[in-house]
Amino acid sequence: MGKTLIAFYSRAGENYANGSKVMLEVGNTEVAAQYIAGFVEADMFKIDQVKKYSEDYTECTAQAKMDQSMNVRPELTQYLDSIDEYDTIYLGFPNYWGTMPMAVFTFLERYDFTGKTIRPFVTHEGSMFGDSIEDIKKLCPGATVEEGLSIHGADVRGYRFTIKKWVNR
């Protein structure tokens, strides 16, 4: 049996939670990724971009929107040599403007996911997965994309048990 990978994108800093601004020391998706790591033996990989988005929420949303409209592929701070040894990949990201942050597109385009199982999880403030599942399927045509888990980002700490049930399915 191959190994399991938890690959996720997450941004600490100012964020919007249930209608007001909060400072997050650890991003919501990273909290979810850590819960998953507590329930399954896996390697962790943080998808992180060289050109960081602003800590300021409003500025970040503008930067991310611009990147999405220009369909850019941000350069990542680190890459895996290969994903050959993994057969299951938990893929986590925040919903950015209706889909994944563009850095996750960079990550998915870099490797061949043929024959792999992808288990997506998203944190969001209302839009759940948006178009991200269709986007993952387009970028990873040979992969099996299993039913994902959608997490209300502001309440991520209340999802530990839900995450456990989903991981063990």
Ligand X SMILES: Cc1cc2nc3c(=O)[nH]c(=O)nc-3n(C[C@H](O)[C@H](O)[C@H](O)COP(=O)(O)O)c2cc1C
Using CB under 6 A, list all residues that contact ligand X. 10-11, 15, 24, 27-30, 60-61, 64, 94-98, 123-127, 153
**Shortest Cβ 74–ligand X spacing (Å):** 13
DSSP state of 149: E
Q: In the structure encoding, which two tokens stand for residue 32, read together?
A: 């979810």
Q: Which is nearer to ligand X, 60 or 163 (CB)?
A: 60
* Residue of minimal Cβ distance to ligand X: 153
* Residues with Cβ within 8 Å of residue 118, at least 6 apart in sequence: 89, 91, 136, 140, 143, 144, 145, 146
**Shortest Cβ 57–ligand X spacing (Å):** 6
**Shortest Cβ 125–ligand X spacing (Å):** 4
Q: Which is nearer to ligand X, 64 or 140 (CB)?
A: 64
**Shortest Cβ 137–ligand X spacing (Å):** 19
Nearest CA among 2, 36, 4 for reference residue 123: 36
Q: Which is nearer to ligand X, 34 or 127 (CB)?
A: 127
Q: Which is nearer to ligand X, 16 or 39 (CB)?
A: 16
